[in-house]
Amino acid sequence: MRGVAALGIVLALVVMVVVLGRGKQTPPPGVPATPGGPSAVQPQPTGQGGIVVQSAVKVVVECENYESIEDKEPKSGHVVMKKGQASMGETIGYLEIPEGWIKTCGMEEDKGHPGTLPGKATYSIDLPREDTYYVFLRAKWYDSCGNSVYFRVDEGDWYPIDDTEGKIDEATYKWAWHPLREAGDPRELKLSAGKHTLTLAIKEDGPLLDKLLIATDATPPAQDSVRP
Ligand SMILES: [Ca+2]
Ligand SMILES: [Ca+2]
């Protein structure tokens, strides 16, 4: 009898171990097994039929987090660029080009000449690969004399970002994404892998500049999105 009881106890233990073992969930591939670990699952480039599908590149730069800035008119010391904050559900920082300083400083003549007005901010980016890139600026224009900036990559040509995105009426604009365009279409920029310097320069006064997006996708972010 004692032998049978012992066998019964052993069998019960074996059943318990099997049941407990089944209860343990193995996380699916890509999901971290430890709580609190990184939750983002990075899509990997996949090969199919010899075609390599590359993941999209998105680089976001906050305009107020510049690497260098020329924020004063050199002769008078007048402030031409300054940091600001706004609350849009969350607090966002921006770079403001105070309205009116171009006239105050008598520099209207310089507005049409890229890079001659004071007021420039630079940003350093590091691109993962050589590709065709598109540029979008999240900004709040001021009015029809405050709805543009100049942009360039490294020592390249100055391009205007100049449109009426976010326009409610002549003197009222809301925050919007402004694509860098060429004859109405998104401008294609062939950029090499590695470090590049982006520069925003004043073209008109009044705009508020939130962030720059450099992406391999030519589709602009949704107009009301704070984060692309
Ligand atoms: Ca203005
Ligand atoms: Ca910002």
Cα–Cα distances in angstroms (integers) from residue 165 to residues 67, 77, 142, 204, in the given order? 27, 32, 11, 16
Find the 43 Cα to ligand 1 centroid distance in Å.
44
- Per DSSP, the three-state class of 165 is coil
195 has which bridge partners?
126
Give the mean pLDDT of the chain: 85
Q: Where are the domains of the chain?
A: 56-215
pTM of the model: 0.78
More confident residue, 29 or 181: 181
Place of tokens 């007048």: 78
Ligand number with the minimum distance to the CA of 80: 1
Find the 119 Cα to ligand 1 centroid distance in Å.
14
CATH code at 56-215? 2.60.120.260
The total number of residues written for the chain in this structure: 228
pLDDT of residue 85: 97
User: With pLDDT > 70 as the criterion, what percentage of the chain qualifies?
Assistant: 79
173 has which bridge partners?
167
1 pLDDT above the threshold of 70: no
* Cα distance between residue 38 and residue 156, in whole Å: 39
* Cα distance between residue 159 and residue 136, in whole Å: 12
pLDDT of residue 88: 82
Strand 46-48 with 51-53, pairing: antiparallel
* Cα distance between residue 109 and residue 76, in whole Å: 17
Find the 138 Cα to ligand 2 centroid distance in Å.
8
Amino acid letter for position 5: A
Cβ atoms of residues 205 and 101 within 8 Å: yes
Ligand number with the minimum distance to the CA of 107: 1
The CB-side HSE value for 162 (13 A sphere, CA atoms) comes to 18
More confident residue, 51 or 157: 157
Find the 170 Cα to ligand 1 centroid distance in Å.
12
Q: Which of 2-6, 46-50, 165-169 has the highest mean pLDDT?
A: 165-169
pLDDT-derived band at 18 (thresholds 50, 70, 90) equals: very low
Task: Note the pLDDT tens digit of each residue in 53-100.
Answer: 889 999 999 999 999 999 999 999 999 999 999 998 889 999 999 999
Amino acid letter for position 219: T
211 pLDDT above the threshold of 60: yes
Find the 29 Cα to ligand 2 centroid distance in Å.
35
